[in-house]
């Protein structure tokens, strides 16, 4: 009997510790799982004296990874506040569904890796839904159509893919536009340099180090039309190609199904009530 009590007490201590760790550690896969399973055993006792057990069980703070500079989807304002279509859609969906989250602007490739390693629960980063990625991620419903393009100096003499023969171009790690560039490199005879962020990649073209860069069309068009970069589009992937796929919110395959479901439900609600259009129009109206 004594032994059993002792074991029970230590099990309870482990469960209690798990709750504390889960509460401190945010919503990573491990902590949210621990939180869910430990709340069952601890709830009777805790809820008898206080209702905080229920609160802590439902108060998972999901960690959502995003890109650092990918306007108009995510970018920092001068004071460091993150804004953009993805940022506002996520906020609207979370409000609609009543979940808490922390935003983690890591960069695109790093954001995907954070989700795969369980350091983040989800990613919203203008992430193209592809069959290959579906092997490692579960995607939400598509929320924005996109394709990829190449851009060069507005005033330079590069105006087509043919002009890239023998030149070097800038691409962004782990992106669809990088895959598109790779599929064209032999045919058009160019080499590639890889960058982690879009802004640094554009600067390489502006500085004259790269003859062109490869990027998502909505993002490149936005940068050009807002006057942020002195570049021009020189080519775009066919809209029926494998490179023209829409964006989705993603979680690690087989994990965070509840979060994914909430995203889909919230997305549907904010589309139905006009919030989705309001958010998108706020950012892309001027671009036309
Ligand atoms: N849509 C592209 C992709 O998923 C690029 C995303 C990004 O750079 N944030 O690969």
The neighbour count for residue 182, using CB atoms within 10 Å, is: 12
Q: Give me the pLDDT at residue 286, please.
A: 52
250 within some domain: yes
In a domain, 28, yes or no: no
Question: Ligand 1 mean position to 50 CA, how many Å?
Answer: 46
- State whether 230 and 170 are in the same domain: yes
Question: Ligand 1 pocket: which of 127, 179, 180, 249 to mutate (most atoms <8 Å of CB)?
Answer: 127
Token pair 């936005």: residue: 222
Residue 213: inside a domain = yes
Ligand 1 center–CA 180 separation, angstroms: 12
Same domain, yes or no: 203 and 170: yes
In a shared domain, residues 178 and 140: no
Q: What total number of domains does the chain contain?
A: 2
Residues 127 and 161 in one domain: no
- Do 189 and 251 fall within a single domain? no
Task: Check whether residue 80 and residue 194 sit in a common domain.
Answer: no
What pLDDT score was predicted for residue 246? 98
How close is the Cα of 125 to the center of ligand 1, in Å?
Answer: 7
Provide the residue range defining the domain that includes 221.
Answer: 148-236
Q: Are residues 141 and 159 in the same domain?
A: no
The closest-lying atom of ligand 1 relative to the alpha carbon of residue 176 is 10
Q: Which atom of ligand 1 is nearest to the CA of 73?
A: 9
In a domain, 39, yes or no: no
| Distance between Cα 128 and ligand 1 center (Å) | 6
- Residues within 6 Å of ligand 1 by CB: 67, 70, 108, 125-128, 146, 172, 175-176, 216
Q: Is residue 84 part of a domain?
A: yes
Task: Ligand 1, residue 133: give the atom nearest the CA.
Answer: 4
Per-position DSSP letters for 16-35, written without gaps between them: HHHHHHHHHHTT-HHHHHHH
Q: Please choose, from the candidates 202, 211, 239, 251, the residue with its C-alpha nearest in 3D space to the C-alpha of residue 75.
A: 202
Task: Quote the ligand 1 centre to 42 CA distance (angstroms).
Answer: 42
Which residue, by CA, sits nearest to atom 10 of ligand 1?
A: 175
> Does any domain span residue 74?
yes
Torsion of CA 101, 103, 107, 113, to 10 degrees: -20
Q: CB–CB of 206/231 below 8 Å? A: yes
Q: Ligand 1: which residue has its CA nearest to atom 5?
A: 175
Task: Give 145's DSSP letter.
Answer: -
Q: What CATH number did the domain enclosing 130 receive? A: 3.40.190.10
6 within domain boundaries: no
Rounded Cα distance between 113 and 250, Å, is 12
The pTM score is 0.80
Do 212 and 270 fall within a single domain?
no
Q: How far is CA 70 from CA 2, 74, 212, 215, 288, in A?
A: 61, 5, 18, 10, 18
Ligand 1 centre to CA of 119 (Å) is 20
pLDDT by residue for the chain (288 residues), tens only, comes to 444 444 444 444 444 444 444 444 333 333 333 333 333 333 333 333 333 333 444 579 999 999 999 999 999 999 999 999 999 999 999 999 999 999 999 999 999 999 999 999 999 999 999 999 999 999 999 999 999 999 999 999 999 999 999 999 999 999 999 999 999 999 999 999 999 999 999 999 999 999 999 999 999 999 999 999 999 999 999 989 999 999 999 999 999 999 999 999 999 999 999 999 999 999 987 544
Q: What is the pLDDT of residue 32?
A: 34
How far, in Å, from the CA of 176 to the mean position of ligand 1?
6
Q: Give residue 181's pLDDT.
A: 98
- Residue 58's pLDDT is 52
Which three-class secondary structure state does DSSP give residue 279?
Answer: helix
The residue among 202, 218, 236 that closes a domain is 236
Q: Ligand 1, residue 130: give the atom nearest the CA.
A: 4
Both 107 and 173 in one domain: the answer is no
Return the H-helix or E-strand segment holding 122.
strand 122-123
pLDDT of residue 161: 98
Burial class (CB in 10 A: 0-12, 13-18, 19+), 257: exposed
What does the DSSP 8-state code read for residue 70?
A: B
Residues 79 and 91 in one domain: yes
- Sign of CA pseudo-dihedral 278, 280, 283, 286: negative
For residues 123 and 263, membership in a common domain is answered with yes
- Residue 170 in any domain: the answer is yes
Check whether residue 160 and residue 129 sit in a common domain. Answer: no
């Amino acid at each position: 009997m004594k032994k059993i009590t002792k074991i029970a007490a230590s099990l309870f201590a482990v469960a209690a510790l798990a709750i504390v760790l889960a509460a401190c550690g945010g919503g990573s896969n491990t902590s949210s799982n621990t939180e869910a399973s430990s709340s069952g055993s601890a709830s009777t006792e805790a809820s008898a004296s206080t209702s905080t057990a229920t609160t802590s069980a439902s108060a998972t703070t999901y960690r959502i990874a995003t890109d650092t500079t990918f306007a108009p989807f995510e970018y920092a304002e001068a004071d460091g506040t993150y804004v953009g279509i993805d940022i506002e859609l996520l906020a609207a969906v979370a409000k609609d569904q009543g979940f808490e989250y922390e935003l983690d602007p890591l960069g695109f490739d790093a954001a995907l890796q954070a989700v795969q390693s369980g350091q983040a629960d989800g990613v919203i980063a203008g992430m193209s839904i592809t069959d290959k990625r579906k092997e490692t991620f579960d995607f939400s419903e598509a929320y924005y159509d996109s394709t990829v393009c190449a851009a060069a100096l507005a005033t330079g003499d590069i105006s087509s893919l043919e002009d890239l023969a023998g030149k070097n171009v800038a691409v962004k790690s782990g992106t669809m536009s990088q895959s598109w560039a790779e599929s064209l490199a032999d045919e058009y005879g160019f080499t590639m340099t890889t960058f982690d962020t879009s802004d640094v990649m554009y600067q390489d073209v502006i500085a004259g180090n790269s003859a062109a860069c490869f990027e998502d069309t909505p993002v490149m068009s936005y940068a050009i039309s807002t006057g942020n970069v002195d570049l021009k589009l020189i080519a775009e992937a066919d809209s029926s190609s494998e490179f023209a796929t829409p964006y989705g919110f993603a979680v690690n395959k087989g994990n965070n199904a509840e979060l994914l479901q909430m995203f889909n439900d919230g997305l549907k609600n904010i589309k139905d009530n006009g919030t989705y259009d309001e958010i998108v129009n706020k950012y892309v109206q001027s671009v036309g």
